[in-house]
Structure 1
Amino acid sequence: MQANAVLAKAVRLALIAGATSATLSTANVIAAEDSEKVERIEVTGSRIKRTDLEGSSPVTTIDAAAIEKTGALSASDLLRGSNLNSFGSFSERSGSSAQSQAAINLRGAGSDRTLVLLNGKRMPGSPTLGGTSVNLNLIPTAAIERIEVLSDGASAVYGSDAIAGVVNIILRKDFEGLELSVTGTNPVKEGGDEWKAHIVGGASGDRGNVSFSFEHLNRDIIFQRDRYYSRATGHKAEKFSQTTGISAYARNFRDKDGVYRPLEACNNPKMVDGGRTFDYGGGDFICGYDYTAEAADHAARSYTAGYVSGEYEITDELRFEGQGLFARNETFGRYAPAAGWFNVKANSVNIRNYDKDGKFTGIGKNKTDGRVYYRFTDVGTRDTETVDYSTDIQLALIGEHDEFGWDINYHYTLQENNAYGKGYVHRPTVEKLVESGEFNFGPEGNSDSVIAKIRHNTLKRDTMKFHSINAGINFEAIDLNGGMIGWYFGAEALKYDYVADVDAQTAAGDVIGSSGNGSGGEREVIAAFMETVAPITDDLEFNMALRYDDYNDFGSAATPKVGLRYQALEDVVIRASWGKGFRAPSLTDLYAADSFSSDTATDYHYCEVSKTPANECAATQYDVTRKANDKLEAEKSDFVNLGVIWSITDQLSTKVEYYNLDIENAIQFISLDALLEQERKVGYGNLKQGKLKRSGDNANGKIESAETPLVNGKGLKTSGLDLNIAYTDLETSFGEFGFIYDQSFVLNYEEEEFFSGPVVDKIGRNGLPKLRAAFTIDWNMDNHSASLITKYIHSQYERTVQGVSSGHLSSQTTMDFNYNYSTDWDGKFSFGIRNLTDRDPVLNRNNDFDTSLYNIYGRTFVATYTQKF
C-alpha cells in the first residue's frame, strides 16, 4: 500500500468531515505540496512531528470557523458545550471571589484532571481556584487559531494533571493583513447583553513575521429575580419545606436545645410578608428572607486582552520564536445582605412563642443562651468586584539541521487576582454591641452609627508565579520497513510560587457573610522525558513515551504510554493507546488553612426523626469547615483508548472511540451529603473521616456544624464511547450541504457512595447524563453560508437516597443558528440565534438546576460585522 495514497485519502477525509467535538469542529489539515512531499506537523499529545493526520491517540480540532458557528464570544463558553465536557464544568458565579473563573472538565473527571496548554506549553492553574484548574476566561478568543483536544491520558508527555486529557489552545501566528470585527448580542430575557470588538493584524518579511490581536468584551449582570425559576416561591406557604429561594438566615433564634423561634425583629418589611412565620418542622418555627430579590446569578464582566507573537529566522537553521499575552478580567457580582450567626445570652432578645399546636402565644425573652441567625439588611447587599491580571510570555530558540533538531523554551506566567467585597459584617463587634445593649433587635433595625461599626470590607489577593524552562532534541535513527524511527529526548524544570491572602478578620472567621482563608507555598519540579515513533511497516506504527517527574515537596512519579496505529485497509485505520497518569496534590490541597463554607445538604435522618417524608425533605445550608490535608498521596491512573476510523467514501466517514479511565487514590472533599450518608451507615459519632455535630450532641438532633476534609478516596472509574459520522459536499441546486453527528456516551461512572462506602455506578444521576450529542447542518452557496447546530443532553434522575434513584429530570435539546454573507469588499455580515427555541434549564422540584450543565441566557440574537484589509 502506498503511504502517500493513504495520506491523500486522509487529507480528503479531513477536509470533508474533520474531527468533530461537542458542537462541531474542523480538522487541522496540512495539505500535500505535491504527490511525493508532505509537510510534517506536530499534534497535541506528541512532540514528534508526523505526516499522519490520525495518530494512535484521538485528537479533536476546533478551528476559528467552527468557533464562529457557535456564536460563542469566549473560549470558556465554547468548550463548556463540548460533548467531551461530559457533565459540564465550572462557570462564572456572582458574588464570590471565583465569580471571574471558568474551567473545562473532560470526561467528567474534574477540571483539576484536565491539563490546559497554551501553544503546546503548560498553563498554571488559577490561584483563585487553588492552582488546580486553569481559568479559561483569560484566553483571548480573537487570537485563537484552533483548539486541539486530546481525549486520552497524556501524563507521559506533559506530566501531572493530564489524567483525563489535554486541551491545547493554539493562538494565531504568521497572520498577514488586518481584521476588524464587532459583535453585539441581545437576549430576549433580562440581563446578559454582550458586546465585543477585536482587531487582529500581522505582517511578514523575508526572515520573519509578527502577529498581534487586541480585544474587549463587556457582559451585563443577570439577577435572580430576572428568571422565573430563580425567583423565590412559596411566600404564602405554611411549611418552610414548600418554599424555594427563601432562607432561614433571616432573624431567628435557636436555643441550647436546638429549638428555633422567630425574633420580634422579623416584623420588618425586608422579611417575607413583613415577617410571617413558617413551620420549620419538628415543632420549630421561623421567619424567612427572600434572598433572590437582590442577589445575582451571573456577574457582570469586562475583559480586555492583547496578544503579540513573532518569529525571526536568525540563520537558515536557527530561528527565534516569541509571544506575549496580557489580559485584564474584571467582574462585578452581588449577594443578598450578609447572613450569619452570633451568640447571645439568656434574656437578651425578644422571641415569638408558640404552643405544641403551633398557636402563637405571645412575645417574650429568650430563656436560655443560644444563637441568633440574622440577616443584616440594614448594612446593604454584599457586592464583590474582582480584578484579575495575567501576563504570559513564551520565548524559544529552535534549530534544525537535516534530520536533527533541537529546541529550548522559556515560559513565564504571572496571575494576580484581587477580590474586593463590601457589605460584610464583623461578628465580634456585633457580639460586643449585643452585650452592651447597643445592638437593636427591634423591627426598626439599627442606627447609622451601629451599622458603621459593624460593617466590614473584605480583601482577597491571589498570586501565581510560574517559571518553566524545557529543552529537547529530536532526530531519526534506525531504519525499519516503514521508515526511520523518530526520537525525542527532553528535560524540563518548573517552579510554582503560589500565595492566597485574605484580610485578617476573614482569616480568623470573624466576618459574617464571607468565607475563605489564606494558603500558599512553593513547588519545584524537575522532569526528563522521551518519545519514539516507530513505523514497523507501511501499515503499522508503534508509539512510546516515558516521563519521570521529581517534586521537591511531594515525591516522584514515572509514567509510561504506548500506542499502536494500524492501517487495516486503505480506508480503515485502527488505533489503540494505553498510558499511566498521575496527579500530584496541589499546594492548596496540602497546605491551605481551614476555611468556612455554607454547604447545602439534605438531612434525611432528621427528616425521618421529625416524620417529614423523604420527598418533602428539603436541602438546607449548614455551617461547614473545609480542611486541607498534608498527608495526601498522589492520584494514579490508567487510561485505555481503542478507535476505528473508516473513510466509507470521499464524502462519508465515521469514527468510533472507546475509552476507559481508572483513577486510584482520588483526591476529593468529603461533601456534607456524603458525610450524612456515611453517618446513616455507621451511626452518629463513628465517622472515619470528617466531623458532624448535632444539637445537644444528640444523634437525633439538628445539624449544628460539620468538618469536611480532603482525603484520598478509593477512586473513580469511567468508560464510554465517542461516535462521529460526517457527510459533506452534497451538491444540490440550492447549494452545498454537509452533515455531522457527534456524540459521547458514558457507559459507567463508578465512585464511592460516600467515603469508605460501597463503590457504585452513578451514571444517570442528577448532573451525570449518560449522553451528550450534537448534530450540525452546514450550507453554503455563492457568498452565503449558514449552519444549524442541535445539541442534546440526556435525561437524569432527580435525587438519590441511600443509593436508590428516583424522580425524572427531562432531557434538553437546544439549537444554535448562524448565517453569514461575504461581501465583495472583504467584509462579512453574520447573524445568529443562540438557543433558538428559548429552552430553559432543566429544573428539579425546587426550581433548581445544574449550573455546570445548563445556562440561563435563553434565546439570544447575535450580530457581527468583520472587515479584512
Structure 2
Amino acid sequence: MQTNSILAKAVRFALIGGAATAALSASVATAADDQAKVERIEVTGSRIKRTDMEGSSPVTTIDASAIEKTGELSMADVLRRSNLNTFGSTSENSGSAQQSQATINLRGAGSDRTLVLLNGKRMPGSPTLGGTAVNLNTIPTAAIERIEVLTDGASAVYGSDAVAGVVNIITKKNFDGVEVSTTATDPVQGGGEEWKTHIVGGLTGDKGSMTFSFEHLNREIIYQRDRWFTSSSNVLAPKFDDATGVSKYARNFLDGKTGQFSPMAACNNPKMVGAGHVYDAGGGDRVCGYDYTSEAADHASRTYTAGYVNSEYELSDEVVFQGQGLFSRNETFGRYAPAAGWFNVAANQLDIQNFDAAGNLTGVSKNPNAGKAYYRFTDVGTRDGNTTDYSTDIQLALVGSHDDFGWDVTYHYNLAENTNSGTGYVHRPTVEQYVKDGIFNFGPEGNSQSVIADIAHNTLKQDIMKFQSINAGLNFEYLELPAGAVSWYLGTEASQYKYDAKVDAQTAAGDVIGSSGNGSQGDRDVYAVFAESIVPVSEDVELNFAYRYDKYSDFGSATTPKVAIRYQALEDVVVRASWGQGFRAPSLSDLLAADALSADMATDYSYCDVLGTAVADCKAKQYDVTRQANSELEPETSDFYNLGVIWDITDNLSTKVEYYNLSIDNVITFVSLDSLLKEEQKVGYGNLSRGEIKRVNNNPNGKLLSATTPKANGTGFDTTGIDFNITYSGFETAIGEFGTSYDLTYVLSYDDEEYFDGPVNDKIGRNGKPEIRFTWVLDWSYGDHSASLLTQYIDGQSEKTNPTDFSQVGNLSSQTTFDVSYGYHTSWDGKFGLGIRNLTNQDPVLDSDLEYDSSLYNLYGRTFTATYTQKF
C-alpha cells in the first residue's frame, strides 16, 4: 500500500522542481525591461478582455509551433500527450461503435467533465458518446492558431461540464496568403502509417478578412498481430490462464446444472487453437480456445476530411459581422474477430468431450443437461465495423462597440450525424431454432452457405445530435474606483438539444451475437443568465467575480459562483487564487437510454476464493452485463480551489507553480461490475443495494453468469495536485540560440471510493493513475535551421489492488520517450521538416498479462515523420 503522505509528496515535488529550476536557470543574463502597450485580449476563463495573459485563473497555451514539435497530425493526439491529461484519454480503438471517438480528460476527472470550446463557444458532446464528451476527431487542425487549456473550474462562466477545466481551440484569423503542407509518417513496427495534406489561405482588406482551410488525413489500421505484445502468446500452454490472446468463446459447452465447462467435439477444427487443443481452465473446467488476435485489429484506420472558414467584416465603424463554418467527415474502419457469444441448447443436442481426473480424453457423449454453447462463428467471418461521423458547425455573430461599451449576439448551430454499420454478426434466435431443428452443424466441417446466410446479421447504429443556441452579452465599465473602473460583462444564453440514437431492431432486442447497445432519444432546453466583473481594488490587487444561473427543462436548475484574486506582489511576481463551484448536468442518454447489453471486464475474487486461486493470480474476465439508465439522476456539483505563483525572473526566464484541489459530489456513474463484486464480498450474494449479480444455480459459490449495472449518483471523489512550469528562451551561443521549457503535473492525492458506497482511499499510484507526468522540451535554432528534443515521462504504477486491504500489488515501470524534430526554412518560403517520434522505440508499459492502458500509452513505437510546407 502506498504510504506517502501529502507532505512527503510536496517535499518530493520541491526537490524535483528545485532541481529543474537550478538546471534551467544556469547562465541567465538579466535584460532591460521594455514596456510596451499591449492590446486587450480575451483569455479563456473570462469574457472580459484584459491586457495581461496571466489573469486570476491558470491558462496553459499550446501554440502552433508546440504542436509541430510533437509530430502529431491530429489535435486529439497532441492533447493526449499533455501532462494535464493526467490519466490519459480515449483514442480510435477498433471494433466498437465508439471507435471513431477521441476525447480529452483533464485532471483524471473524466472526459465528460472537461468542456471543449471552439473560439470561445461551447461545442456540444458527441451523440455516439451520449452527448457527454466532445469528439476531438471532428475538429480540424490545419487552421489552429493555438489551444488554451484552462485548468480551473469554469461553470460560472461557461455552464455545465466545465468542472475540471476547459479546452479552447482558437483558429487563425486575418491570414493573408496561401500555405500548402503535406506530411507522411512511417512506424517501424508496421501498421498505422499516416499521411496528411492541408491548405490554409486568406484575404485581408480595409473592411474585413477571410481565412479558410481544407485538410485530408489518412491513417492505416493496426492489427493485433502487428505487435508482439498484442498478438497471442503461449497458446499451447496446458493451463488456460497461462496463455494470452485466447478466448473461451470457441467451441465450449456450459452445463446449466453443474456450471461446468466442457469442450465440444467441434473443437477439433483447424481454426481453434492447435486444431482442438484443450486447456485446464481451473475448478474442473476444460475448454478449447480461439486466438482472436489472429484477425482482430487494435487501432482503427481513419480517414478525415474537413473544411473551415472564418470571416469578419466591418458593417460600420461600430459594428462587425463575424462568421465561421466547420464541415468535417470522419471515417473509421475496425475489425473484431468472428462473432462470439452464447446460445441456449437443450439436453442431448451436441457432443462434448469427457476427461478423467488425470486429464485424459475418455470419449465423447451427448450433453446430459440443458445449458449454453459458447461458440465462435468462424464460418460467418470477421466482424467489420465502418463508422462515418459528419459534423456541421456554424456560428454567426454581430459585435458592437461604442467608447467603453460593447455588445455581442451569436447564433450557433451544430449538427452531428454518426453512423456505424457492421457485418459478420449472428442472429441468436435463428441459431437456436436451427439447433433445435437439428439443422445447425456442430461438426468440424461447419455449416452450409445457406445456413450461414440465414444466421448472419448486419448491424446499424445511428446517432444524431442537433444543437442550437443564441448568446447575447453586454460589456462595459461602471463604477470608478481609485485604482480604475470596474469592468462588467452581463450575458444570457438559450440553447436547445435534440438527441436521437437508433439501432437495428434485432440488436435492440438483444438477439444479436457479437453486438450490443440500444436506442435512446430526447430533447432539452437550457436557459442561462450570467454576470462577471473585474474589480481593481488597488494598483496591485484585482478581484474577479462570476455568477451563473442555468435552468434545464428536464431536471432542474443550477447556480454557480466563482471568486478569484490576482495580486501583483512584486514587479515580476504575481500571486493568484480562485474558488469556484461547478456542475455537470446528466446527459440525455444518462436519463433516457434503454437497457443495453455489454461485455464488461471484471475480476471475480469471490469465485477465485472458492477455487482456491490466490489474489495475485485471479484474472479479470469478460461477463455479460445489462447497463441501465436512470431518469431520476441529479446533477453533479463540484468545488475547485487554485493557488498559483508566477515569477518572471528575467525577460528570458519565468516560472510558475499552481496548486489545485477539485472535489466532485453526487457523481454520475455506472455502478460497475467490479463495484458490484466488491460490494457482494461485503454484504453477501443477493444483498446488493442496487444492481444485480446472477450466479450458476443461484448459488453464492457458483460461477458468475451475468449482471445488471445501473447509472446512479455516487458520493464523489477528491483530487489535489501541483502544476509546475519553468521556461527559458533566448540563450545565444556561437552555435545557435537555445531555449527550453519544462512542465510537470504532480498528483498529491486522488481520493475515491473502492466501490459504490464503499470505503474511500487514495488511489494515486494505482494502475492507470500515475503520480507524475512531465514534458521537457529543448529547442535550438541557427539561421534557417531549427531542431527540438521533446522528452515525456509517465510515472510507474502498481499492477493490481488487493481486494481485502486495498494495498497496491506488483509494479509497472515508468516510461520515458523522446521525440526529435528538425526543420529547414528555404529561401523560397518553403520548409522541410523531419522527425522521429519515440526515438528509442519504447513499447507501452505492459502488465503480467501483456495488457496495457491504451488511454495512457500508444502502440506506434518509433515513427519517422516528414513534412514539406510551402507558403505563397
TM-score relative to the length of structure 2: 0.95
Deviations 1:582-631 (A, max 9, x none): 00100000110111111111111111111122222222111111111111
- Other structure's SS at 2:645 match: strand
Shift of 1:356: 3.4
Q: Distance in 1 between matches of 2:524 and 2:89?
A: 27
2:710 is aligned to 709
Deviations 1:801-850 (A, max 9, x none): 21121100000000111110001110000001001111000000000000
User: What corresponds to 2:606 in structure 1?
Assistant: 605
> For residue 785 of structure 1, what is the aligned residue in structure 2?
786
Question: Separation in 1 of the partners of 2:36 and 2:280?
Answer: 81
Counterpart of 1:835 in structure 2 is: 838
Would you say the 8 A contact 1:241–1:617 is kept in 2? Answer: no
The aligned residue for residue 327 of structure 1 is 328
Task: State the Cα distance separating 1:536 from its structure 2 match.
Answer: 1.0
Tell me the CA shift for residue 676 of structure 1.
1.0
2:302 maps to what in 1? Answer: 301
| Unmatched segments (≥5 aa) in structure 1 | 1-19, 21-33
Matched to 1:207, the amino acid is: K
Match of 2:206 in 1: 206
CA distance in 2: counterparts of 1:35 and 1:337, whole angstroms:
68
Offset at 1:570?
0.7
Structure 2 CA distance for partners of 1:60 and 1:616, relative to 1, 3 Å: same
Matched residue SS, 1:378? coil
Q: Which residue of 1 aligns with 2:62?
A: 62
Cα-to-partner distance string for 1:231-264 (whole Å, 9 max, x where unaligned)? 1112121111111110001110011121110011
Q: What residue number does 1:812 align with?
A: 815
Distance 1:57 1:844 in 2: 39
Deviations 1:735-766 (A, max 9, x none): 01011111000000011100111011100000
What is aligned with 1:52? 52
Paired with 2:65 and 2:370, the residues of 1 have a C-alpha distance of 66
Which whole-Å CA distance do the structure 2 matches of 1:866 and 1:137 have between them? Answer: 23
Letter paired with 2:165? G
Q: Which residue matches 2:799?
A: 798
Residue number in structure 2 paired with 1:861 = 864
Distance 1:38 1:697 in 2: 72
1:551-587 superposed Cα distances (whole Å, 9 cap, x missing partner): 0001000000010000000111000000000001000
- Give, in angstroms, the shift of residue 481 of structure 1: 2.3
Partner amino acid, structure 1, of 2:109 = A
Structure 2 SS opposite 1:315: coil
1:547, 1:558 within 8 Å by CA — same for their partners in 2? Answer: yes
Deviation at 1:670, TM superposition (A): 1.5
Alignment match, 2:402: 401
- Once the two structures are superposed, residues 53-96 of structure 1 have per-residue CA deviations (whole angstroms, 9 ceiling, x without a partner) of 21110011111111111111000000000010000001111011
- 1:93-242 equivalences in 2 (<5 Å): 93-242=93-242
The alignment's C-alpha RMSD in Å is 1.2
Aligned to 1:689: 690
How far apart are residue 294 of structure 1 and its match? 0.1
Match of 2:592 in 1: 591
Summarize deviations over 1:710-746 as a string: whole Å, max 9, x none.
1111101000000011121111111010111110000
Q: Does the CA contact (< 8 Å) of 1:572 and 1:646 recur in 2?
A: yes
Note if contact 1:277-1:287 (Cα within 8 Å) is conserved in structure 2: yes
Identity %: 67
Q: How does 1:449-528 map to 2 (within 5 A)?
A: 449-528=450-529
Cα deviation 1:310-369 (Å, max 9, x = unaligned): 011000000100000000001111000000000000000000012334332110000001
Matched AA of 1:268: N
How far 1:206 moved relative to its partner? 1.1
Q: What is the DSSP-based 3-state SS (H/G/I as helix, E as strand, rest coil) of the residue aligned with 1:140?
A: coil
Secondary structure at 2:544's aligned position in 1? strand
Kindly provide the amino acid, as one letter, of the partner of residue 132 in structure 1: T
Instruction: State the Cα distance separating 1:650 from its structure 2 match.
Output: 2.0
2:664 match: 663
Q: Aligned equivalents of 2:38 and 2:379: distance in 1?
A: 71
Mapped partners of 1:613, 1:716: distance in 2: 30
Whether contact under 8 Å (1:283, 1:358) holds in the other structure is no
Match of 1:228, SS state, is coil
**Which residues in structure 2 correspond to 1:641-656 (within 5 Å)?**
641-656=642-657
TM-score (norm 1): 0.96
**2: distance between equivalents of 1:133 and 1:241?**
36
CA distance in 1, matches of 2:359, 2:703: 19
Structure 1 CA distance for aligned equivalents of residues 825 and 233 of structure 2? 49
AA paired with 1:427? Answer: R
CA distance in 1, matches of 2:45, 2:36: 26
Shift of residue 193, structure 1, vs aligned partner: 0.2
Uncovered stretches (5+) of structure 2, i.e. residues with no partner = 1-19, 21-33
Over 6 Å off, 4+ runs: none
Structure 2: which amino acid aligns with 1:834? R
Letter paired with 1:849: Y
Counterparts of 2:808 and 2:357, CA distance in 1: 35
In 2, are the aligned partners of 1:295 and 1:335 still within 8 Å (CA)? yes
**SS across alignment from 1:265:** helix
Letter in 1 for 2:613: T
Gap change, CA 1:182 and 1:36, over 3 Å in 2: closer
Write the letter of the residue equivalent to 2:816.
T
Structure 1 match to 2:437? 436
Residue aligning to 2:641: 640
Preserved contact between residue 581 and residue 638 of structure 1 (Cα < 8 Å): yes
| Superposition deviation, residue 384 in structure 1 | 0.3
Q: In the alignment, residue 699 of structure 2 is paired with which amino acid?
A: N
Distance 2:479 2:512 in 1: 67
User: Which residue pairs with 2:71 in the alignment?
Assistant: 71
TM-superposed CA distance for 1:36, in Å, is 6.7
Deviation of 1:701 after TM superposition, in Å, equals 0.5
Identify the residue that residue 243 of structure 1 maps to in structure 2: 243
Correspondence for 1:556: 557
1:361 is aligned to: 362
Superposed CA deviations along residues 745-788 of structure 1, whole A, max 9, x for unmatched, are: 00000111001110111000000000000111000010001110
Q: Deviations over 1:116-160 (max 9, x none)?
A: 001100000000011100000011110111100000100000000
AA matched with 1:217 = L
SS at structure 1 position matched to 2:425: strand
Give the Cα separation in 2 of the matches to 1:429 and 1:452.
11
Which SS does the other structure have where 2:379 is aligned? helix
The offset of 1:35, in angstroms, is 5.3
**Post-superposition CA distance 1:475-530 (Å, at most 9, x none):** 00111122111000010001000111000000000000001100121010000000
Q: 2:547 & 2:402 partners in 1: Cα distance?
A: 25
Q: Which residue of 1 aligns with 2:28?
A: none
Deviation at 1:672, TM superposition (A): 1.3
Contact 1:192 1:222 in 2 (8 A): yes
Alpha-carbon shift at residue 647 of structure 1 (Å): 1.3
Residue 142 of structure 1 aligns to a residue whose secondary structure is coil
Q: 1:586 and 1:507 mapped to 2: Cα distance?
A: 20
Report how many residues are paired. Answer: 839
Question: What letter matches 1:360 in structure 2?
Answer: L
* Equivalent-residue separation in structure 2 for 1:762 and 1:686 (angstroms): 27
- Structure 2 partner of 1:6: none
1:36-55 superposed Cα distances (whole Å, 9 cap, x missing partner): 74310000011000011211
Tell me the distance in 1 between the aligned counterparts of 2:221 and 2:36: 57
Tell me by how many angstroms 1:172 deviates: 1.4
